[in-house]
Amino acid sequence: MKAERQSILCRLNARRELGGGTVLLNFEWPFTPPRAGQFFMVKPARTSVFLARPLSAAVSRDGVGFLLAVRGRGTAELAAMSAGDETLLTGPLGNDWAAFLPQDAAKPVMLISGGLGIAPLAAFSAELRSASVNFVFLSGFRRGADGEAMLSALGSGADGALIVSEDGGGRPNAKRGLVTGFLDAQNYSAVFACGPEAMLKSAALLCREAGTPCFVSLEARMACGTGACLGCAVPARDGGYRRCCSDGPIFDAEDVFFEP
Ligand SMILES: Cc1cc2nc3c(=O)[nH]c(=O)nc-3n(C[C@H](O)[C@H](O)[C@H](O)COP(=O)(O)OP(=O)(O)OC[C@H]3O[C@@H](n4cnc5c(N)ncnc54)[C@H](O)[C@@H]3O)c2cc1C
Ligand code: FES
C-alpha cells in the first residue's frame, strides 16, 4: 500500500555517527512506512535555514531512517541533532523503485550504488528479498572502510551487498576499482542505480550499449518537494524538463539528459 503524504513534527529516536561526516538518523514515524526510493523533506524544528532538505528514506525497523552526509548548513544542522529533538518531516514523496521492476524477468536485476546511494537501494534490496526477486547488489565507495561502516549500520537491508572501493578496502571479498567497472549490464533484466551523477551516467551508457533498461535516482536542489515550485527541474533528452520531486526522483535513464 502506498503511504499518504504527511507533514508532522517527529522526534529523533537514535543518532549514529559512521565517520567521514556521515550520520544515520532514525525518527519516529507513526504512519505507513515509505516505499524504497521515496524521500522526505526534512527540517529541524529549530533551524537557521529557510527550506527543508530532501533526504532518501533508508531501511528502518521502526520509524524512518536517513543516511546523511554533511554538505552545507542544512545538513550540518540535521547532523548535529540529538535524540529527542524534533524535526518537521514531510513525506513520503516521489516515486519508488518497485514501480520500475520488469515483470516475469528471466535474469536477475542489478542494484548499483555509489556512496550514500546505498541507503535507498538497501531499502529496495529488503523489498526484493521479501518478494523473492533475484538480484545482485554492488555498492561502490571511495574508501572501503566507509562502505563497511554504512553497510553495517544499515543492517539486514544491505546484506549481500558486495563492496567495490577505490582503495580496495572494506569486507574481505571487496573489489578494487570503480563500481561501474563491475557492471556486466547484459546479465541483468534491469539496472537500478543511485549515486553521484558521473556514476549514473556511466551506468546508463553501459546499459544502453547492452540494451538493458536502466533506472536512475536523480538529485536536484528542492524547495517545495511536491511539484508546485518547478525549482527542481532536471533536463530531459526530449529537450524539455522534468520535476525531480514529483516526476521522479527515479527516471528511466533513456529519458534523462546527462551533461556531456
Ligand atoms: C531526492 C533526493 C534525495 C536525497 N537523499 C539524500 C540522502 O539520503 N542523504 C544525503 O546526505 N543527501 C541526500 N540528498 C542531498 C541533500 O538534499 C543535499 O546534500 C542537501 O540538500 C544540502 O543542503 P545543505 O544546506 O547542507 O547544503 P547547501 O548549503 O544547500 O549546499 C552545499 C553544497 O552542496 C550542493 N548541493 C546542495 N543540494 C544538493 C543536491 N540536492 N544535489 C547535489 N548537490 C547539492 C550545493 O551545490 C553546495 O555545493 C538528496 C537529494 C535529493 C534531491
Ligand atoms: S521542488 Fe518544487 S517542484 Fe520540485
DSSP 176-216: ES-GGGG--GGG-SEEEEES-HHHHHHHHHHHHHHT--EEE
Atom of ligand 1 nearest to the CA of 54: 17
Q: What spacing in Å lies between the alpha carbon of 13 and ligand 2's midpoint?
A: 29
Place of cell 533513456: 254
pTM: 0.95
Q: At the top level of CATH, which class does the domain 6-93 belong to?
A: mainly beta
Spatial separation of the C-alpha atoms in residues 118 and 161, rounded to whole Å: 9
Which fold does the domain 97-217 belong to in CATH? Rossmann fold (3.40.50)
If you average pLDDT over every residue of the chain, what do you get?
Answer: 93
Cβ–Cβ under 8 Å, residues 203 and 193: yes
The type of residue at 95 is N
Residue ranges around ligand 2 (CB below 6 Å): 222-225, 227-232, 243, 245
Compute, in degrees rounded to 10, the torsion defined by CA atoms 140, 145, 149, 152: 80
Residue ranges around ligand 1 (CB below 6 Å): 39, 49, 53-56, 66-69, 71-75, 116, 119, 219-222, 244, 249
Q: What spacing in Å lies between the alpha carbon of 202 and ligand 2's midpoint?
A: 26
Atom of ligand 1 nearest to the CA of 57: 8
Q: Domain-by-domain residue ranges, the chain? A: 6-93, 97-217
Cell numbers for 142: 571511495
Q: What spacing in Å lies between the alpha carbon of 74 and ligand 1's midpoint?
A: 9
Tens digits of pLDDT across the chain (260 residues): 678 999 999 999 999 999 878 999 999 999 999 999 999 999 999 888 899 999 999 977 789 999 999 999 999 999 999 999 999 999 999 999 999 999 877 899 999 999 999 999 999 999 999 999 999 999 999 999 999 999 988 877 677 889 999 998 888 888 999 999 999 999 999 999 999 999 999 999 999 999 999 999 999 999 999 999 999 999 999 999 999 999 999 999 999 999 88
Q: What spacing in Å lies between the alpha carbon of 215 and ligand 1's midpoint?
A: 20
